[in-house]
Amino acid sequence: MTGKRILLIDNEEGLCRMMTAILEDQRYEVTAFTDPVAAMRRFSPADWDVVVTDIKMPGMDGLEVLQHVKDKAPLLPVIIITAFATVDMSIQALRKGAYDMLTKPFEPEELLYRVKNALKTNELLVENHHLHQELTGRFKFDRIIGNSAALRELLLKVEKIAVRDTSVLITGESGSGKELIAQAIHYNSTRHDKRFVAINCGALPESVLESELFGSRKGAFTGATENRKGLLEEADGGTLFLDEVGNLPLTVQKTLLRFLQEQEFMRIGDTRPTRVDVRLITATNADLSEDVSRGTFREDLFYRINVIKLRLPPLRERREDIPILVTHFIRTCNEKFATTFQGITPEALRVLTTHDWPGNIRQLANVIEACLTIETGSHISLSTLNQIMEIPHEQGEPSSSGAGYTSSLARFEIDYLCGLLRRTEGNVEEAAKLAGMNMATIYRKMKKYGITKESVT
């Protein structure tokens, strides 16, 4: 076998057998389905290198299969087979992410040619994707947005421990950015030129999680048709990040503990240990000490992963970062959707800075994107915000005291400007870019409130 795995879907059983024979003759590993619904029920992105599907099928057509595959594996190439290759259909399939179209009837050589090209393209895409992750991840802390005292204190700790090759446990609420902190540790460590591999331990069932982490030998269980590396081997020389580590089953905890003690582990079904050099960073939004007391988390493993503990403060504890984050998310959406939104009104921003944000930064980012989706003006307004999130009545109405509102707005502007200037080390031009304002406005407000560069840097 070439090791390349092809998922083949066609409701014509005879054509399915013919294509399978053609592909297997070239030593490809083929799994064929005549039922597209069953194929998608069994679909797992890591199991395939290319998907070949007919377009006209009962239960689920090829475009629906394509959408399902792309939702789970954007880089995985999909070849669409059709007997009716109209221009409109081809455009629709290509827009949805199809790699190629193959028109019936076709010669065996044409099928092999399209599959071979798709596999080559997939290899390049995966390689480029990993390279892009490496390059874009090599940062100091510029992907971590904020200038609050709590965040600055945390990043000082991160900078110190990054060079210490030891286990780190990051605690913090869901959506607060724990993976970004883990990436900052990795890309500022001596392992920065190796891979950073992440997995959410709460997103996979126990049987799948064990094989994903440690890998498996051919024949170890039903469906194990080849030797497969686990994420620990994929991260060899680099860093493995286990998010929501408290969800690890006890059986997996035992194997992980052995790895931390010996730097070796057993693949499922293997008889010889595999040795790797991996730094482990874990994260949780739960209290692991309580899990230890309940017996759902091993005490010895807890002490192994908790050598250094970092607490990431929730967004409500660093409200002064919210204006900077809002500006960042507006700019990101403008780049993503080719829009030209200018910012947010003071009234709407006041609501955002007083909200408690139980979903933290992730929730704030989603709110901003939702607002920009329906906003008709150049700035996110209070009325638009009110359609996306529930605003307390007293916040949705202007203050009965004009002086009180003016005073609150002035205090906010002073804090916001000072935060911007501290973050940019007094660079007014850079501060203006971050705020989405022109330099003249920044200088005018600095003069209005008596703010100087020296007073904030």
Do 307 and 322 belong to one domain?
Answer: no
Q: pLDDT by residue (tens digit) across 68-105?
A: 998 888 878 999 998 765 666 777 787 788 888 888 88
Range of the domain at 9: 5-132
In what helix (H) or strand (E) does residue 5 lie, and over which residues does it extend?
strand 5-9
DSSP letter assigned to residue 83: S
* Residue at token pair 């638009």: 384
Q: Tell me how far apart the alpha carbons of residues 245 and 201 are, in angstroms, rounded to a whole number.
A: 6
> CB count, 10 Å around CB of 234?
16
Domain boundary among 103, 132, 161: 132
Do 359 and 275 belong to one domain?
Answer: no
Compute the average pLDDT of residues 99-124: 85
Q: What integer pLDDT is reported at residue 457 of this predicted model?
A: 60
**DSSP symbols for 11-50:** S-HHHHHHHHHHHHHTT-EEEEES-HHHHHHH--GGG-SE
Q: Tell me which residue of 263, 272, 222 sits closest to 240, measured CA to CA.
A: 263
> CB count, 10 Å around CB of 425?
11
Query: How far apart, in Å, do the first and last CA atoms of the chain sit?
Result: 63
Q: Tell me how far apart the alpha carbons of residues 223 and 305 are, in angstroms, rounded to a whole number.
A: 33
Do 301 and 358 belong to one domain?
Answer: no
* Residue at token pair 């502007």: 413
Do 275 and 342 belong to one domain?
Answer: no
Do 30 and 146 belong to one domain?
Answer: no
DSSP letter assigned to residue 272: S
Do 143 and 269 belong to one domain?
Answer: yes
Q: Tell me which residue of 104, 109, 97, 9 sits closest to 52, measured CA to CA.
A: 9
Single-letter code of the amino acid located at 33: F
Helices (H), 163-249: 178-187, 206-214, 231-234
C-alpha radius of gyration, the chain, whole number: 27
- What residues are paired with 53 via a beta bridge? 9, 80
Q: pLDDT by residue (tens digit) across 327-355?
A: 999 999 999 899 999 889 888 898 999 99
- Count the domains in the chain: 3
How would you list the strands of the sheet with 50-54, edge to edge?
29-33, 5-9, 50-54, 78-82, 100-103
pLDDT at residue 209 greater than cutoff 80: yes
Q: pLDDT by residue (tens digit) across 120-147?
A: 877 766 665 555 555 444 445 667 888 8
Q: What integer pLDDT is reported at residue 393 of this predicted model?
A: 58
**Cβ neighbourhood burial of 223 (10 Å; 0-12, 13-18, 19+):** exposed
Domain boundary among 295, 313, 331: 313
| 300: CB partners within 8 A, 6+ apart | 257
Do 86 and 189 belong to one domain?
Answer: no
Helices (H), 270-316: 288-294, 299-305
Region at 343 (left for phi over 0; alpha for psi -120 to 50; beta for the rest):
left
Do 435 and 337 belong to one domain?
Answer: yes
Q: pLDDT by residue (tens digit) across 423-441?
A: 888 888 888 888 777 777 7
Do 309 and 167 belong to one domain?
Answer: yes
CATH of the domain at 151: 3.40.50.300
**46 or 79, higher pLDDT:** 79
CATH of the domain at 323: 1.10.8.60
Q: What is the dihedral of CA 114, 117, 123, 126, to 10 degrees?
A: -70
Q: Tell me how far apart the alpha carbons of residues 290 and 98 are, in angstroms, rounded to a whole number.
A: 48
- Residue 34, CA distances (Å) to 7, 52, 53, 82, 101 in order: 11, 12, 10, 15, 19
pTM: 0.58
CATH of the domain at 105: 3.40.50.2300
Q: pLDDT by residue (tens digit) across 5-37?
A: 999 999 989 889 999 999 998 889 999 999 999
Domain boundary among 256, 286, 313: 313
Do 326 and 269 belong to one domain?
Answer: no
Q: Tell me how far apart the alpha carbons of residues 40 and 44 are, in angstroms, rounded to a whole number.
A: 8
Q: Tell me how far apart the alpha carbons of residues 62 and 52 are, in angstroms, rounded to a whole number.
A: 9
Give the SS3 label for residue 98: coil
Q: Tell me which residue of 206, 308, 214 sits closest to 256, measured CA to CA.
A: 214
Across 70-79, 84-93, 212-221, 390-399, least confident range = 390-399
Single-letter code of the amino acid located at 150: A
Do 331 and 307 belong to one domain?
Answer: no
Q: What integer pLDDT is reported at residue 22 of this predicted model?
A: 92
Report the half-sphere exposure of 96 (CA within 13 A, side-chain side): 22
Do 171 and 303 belong to one domain?
Answer: yes
Q: pLDDT by residue (tens digit) across 252-311?
A: 999 999 999 988 888 887 778 889 999 999 999 999 999 999 999 999 999 999 999 999
pLDDT at residue 404 greater than cutoff 60: no
